Structure 1
Amino acid sequence: MSQAEIALWTRARDLTRSDIQSALYERREIVKTAALRLTLHLISARDFPAYVTALKPAFTVYMQRQFARLGAKPAQVDAMMTTVMDALQDGPRTQQELIALARRRAGPKMRLWLKYAWSAVRPLVIEGLICYGPPRGGQATFVRVDQWLPKQPAIDIAEARATLVRRFLGAFGPASVNDFSRWCAMSVTEARPLFDSMRDEIVQVSVDGASGWMLRRDRSELADSTLDVRSPRLLPAFDSFILAHATKEHLIDRKHYKRVWRSQGWISPVVLLGGAIVGVWFPETSGKTCTLEVDLFDRQPRSIRDGIEREAEALGAFVGTPIGVVFL
Structure 2
Amino acid sequence: MALAIPRTELLRLRLRSHGLTRPSKGPVAGVSGAVAPDAAAARMFALQGQDLPGALWSIGQRAPGTDLAQVRTAFDSGELVRSWPLRGTLHVLAAEDLGWVLALTGARSLGGAAGRERQLGLDAAAFDVAREVAAGVLERGRQASRAELFAAFDRAGVSTDGQRGVHLLWHLAVEGLLVLGPFRGAEQFVVLTEEWIPQPRALSGDEAVRELVVRYLTGRGPATLADLTWWSKLPVTAARRALDDLRDSLTELSCAGTTSWALGSTLDRVAGESPRQVLMLPGFDEFLLGYSDRSAPLAPHHAPLTVPGGNGVFKPTVVVGGRVVGLWSRRASAHRVIVTCSPFDKPFPPRVAAALASAAADYGRFHGLEAQIVLGDPVRTRSG
Give the TM-score normalised by structure 1: 0.89
- The CA deviation string for residues 71-99 of structure 1, in whole angstroms up to 9 with x for no partner, is 54323322222221221114001111111
Is the Cα contact below 8 Å between 1:50 and 1:164 reproduced in 2?
A: no
**DSSP 3-state at the match of 2:361:** helix
2:300 equivalent to 1:250: no
**Match for residue 46 of structure 1?**
96
Contact 1:234–1:272 under 8 Å retained in 2: yes
> Residue 335 of structure 2 corresponds to which residue in structure 1?
288
Give yes or no for contact 2:225–2:240 (8 Å, CA) kept in 1.
yes
Is it true that 1:29 corresponds to 2:79 in the alignment?
Answer: yes
1:170 aligns with 2:221: no
Instruction: Describe the shift of the 1:259–1:227 C-alpha distance in structure 2 as closer, same or farther (beyond 3 A).
Output: farther
Partner in structure 2 of residue 99 of structure 1? 150
Preserved contact between residue 227 and residue 274 of structure 1 (Cα < 8 Å): no
The answer for the alignment partner of 1:278 in structure 2 is 325
Q: Which amino acid in the other structure matches residue 291 of structure 1?
A: I
Decide whether the 8 Å contact of 2:106 with 2:175 is kept in 1.
Answer: yes
SS at the partner of 1:2? helix
RMSD: 2.4
Q: Per the alignment, in what secondary structure is the counterpart of residue 168 of structure 2? A: coil
Which one is further off, 312-321 or 60-69? 60-69
1:209-232 CA-to-partner distances (Å, cap 9, x unmatched) read: 43101123333335x699758x31
Instruction: Establish whether residue 265 from structure 1 lines up as the match of residue 312 from structure 2.
Output: yes
8 Å contact kept, 1:81–1:123: no
Select 2:71's aligned residue among 20, 40, 58: 20
Q: For 1:132, what is the secondary structure of its paired residue?
A: strand
CA distance, structure 1, for counterparts of residue 208 and residue 115 of structure 2: 24
Structure 1 CA distance for aligned equivalents of residues 162 and 193 of structure 2: 22
Corresponding residue to 1:11 among 44, 62, 81: 62
Deviation string 1:104-149 (CA, Å, 9 cap, x unpaired) is: 223xxx5367753513311121022211132335433100012112
Name which of structure 1's ranges 254-263 and 231-240 shifts more when overlaid on structure 2. Answer: 254-263
What corresponds to 1:234 in structure 2?
280
State the Cα distance separating 1:235 from its structure 2 match.
0.5
Which secondary structure state, in structure 2, belongs to the residue aligned with residue 120 of structure 1?
Answer: helix
Counterpart CA distance in 2 for 1:208 and 1:112 is 50
- The one-letter amino acid of 1:210's match is T
Shifted more, 232-241 versus 198-207: the winner is: 198-207
Aligned partner of 1:155 among 203, 218, 240: 203
Distance 2:295 2:166 in 1: 34
Relative to structure 1, the CA distance from residue 195 to residue 8 in structure 2 (aligned partners, 3 Å threshold; closer, same or farther) is same
The match for 2:12 is none
Could you tell me how far apart the structure 2 residues matched to 1:177 and 1:46 are? Answer: 26
In structure 1, distance between residues paired with 2:273 and 2:189 = 43
Residue range with higher mean Cα deviation, 281-290 or 239-248: 281-290
Counterpart of 1:320 in structure 2 is 368
SS at match of 1:238: coil
Larger deviation, residues 7-16 vs 238-247: 7-16
Paired positions, count: 322
Is 1:309 the equivalent of 2:360?
no
- Within 1, Cα distance between the matches of 2:161 and 2:225? 36
- Deviates further, 299-308 or 47-56: 47-56
Q: Which runs of 5+ in 2 are unaligned?
A: 1-51, 377-384
Supply the AA of the counterpart residue of 1:12.
Answer: A
Name the CA shift for 1:115/1:314 in 2 (closer, same or farther; >3 Å): closer
With a CA cutoff of 8 Å and minimum separation of 6, indicate the structure with the bigger relative contact order.
2
Q: Which residue of 2 aligns with 1:141?
A: 189
- C-alpha distance in 2 between matches for 1:72 and 1:303: 56
Question: What percentage of aligned pairs have identical amino acids?
Answer: 25
Unpaired stretches in structure 1, ≥5 consecutive residues: none
CA distance in 1, matches of 2:236, 2:201: 29
For normalisation by structure 2, the TM-score amounts to 0.77
SS at match of 1:111: coil
- How far apart, in 2, do the equivalents of 1:120 and 1:257 lie? 34
- In 1, Cα distance between equivalents of 2:333 and 2:69: 24
Give distance in 2, aligned partners of 1:238 and 1:153: 27
SS of 1:295's equivalent? strand
Question: Alpha-carbon deviations, 1:300-320, whole Å to 9, x = none?
Answer: 311110110111012111110
